[in-house]
Structure 1
């Protein structure tokens, strides 16, 4: 099963995204800030880091950069409601995908599905 680490400081959004992804067959571990995600990255294997960019303590870009050191094969997808930080995220973590808020849950799940299409088809 594909494992997703979700870092989102907005509780309602975090719960909403977790439910949608779990219903689509993903295993989700959700945290409310980047600093809570780092220990999980250090101790558990994940396939995708799905992170808000603007969060207190450690933003999503810094989290993604730390994650890249801890787990170089980890895929990254940013979610943000701020257009200005989208460009910054793209420059800082060029291989990451960026999904701008507001988005429909179906769009999020489709993007995640696309990222793992080959693994799901091959059963890996």
Structure 2
């Protein structure tokens, strides 16, 4: 079981994603934005970050940069409805495991999580 930090500002989507990841056997720490999520990274217990790219306050790119400073090698999965922002994320943040464009199937998220965790374990 992995500890997943989830940052998603959509009040309807966040609990749905958290529940789906919990049903897949993971512990989920869910937050509505990057600023709220950032302190959870400080404990070092996070195995994976899943973040929306576009959020008020600290966006997903900024959150990922801070997270990877505190936990080098932390796998990051971005979710977004904005393909142009997704391309920027892939170019500007090292170590991105996957970018999922909304809407996506929950199986795609679980597969991306499993692949990212397997890659982390292999390195």
TM-score of the two chains, using structure 1 as the length reference? 0.91
Aligned to 1:69: 69
Q: Does 1:104 align with 2:109?
A: no
- What is the deviation of 1:54? 0.2
- C-alpha distance in 2 between matches for 1:31 and 1:11: 10
- What is the deviation of 1:111? 1.1
Could you say what secondary structure the match of 2:51 adopts? Answer: strand
Alpha-carbon displacement from aligned partner over 1:5-57 (angstroms, at most 9, x marks no partner) = 00000111100100100000011000000001111101241010000000000
Q: How does 1:78-93 map to 2 (within 5 A)?
A: 78-93=78-93
In structure 2, runs of 5+ residues without a counterpart are none
Q: Does 1:53 align with 2:53?
A: yes
TM-score of the two chains, using structure 2 as the length reference? 0.92
- What is the deviation of 1:119? 7.3
Contact in 1 for aligned 2:6/2:49 (Cα 8 Å): yes
In structure 1, runs of 5+ residues without a counterpart are none
Please give the root-mean-square deviation of Cα atoms over the aligned residues, in Å: 1.7
Counterparts in 2 of 1:68 and 1:118: CA distance versus 1, 3 Å = closer
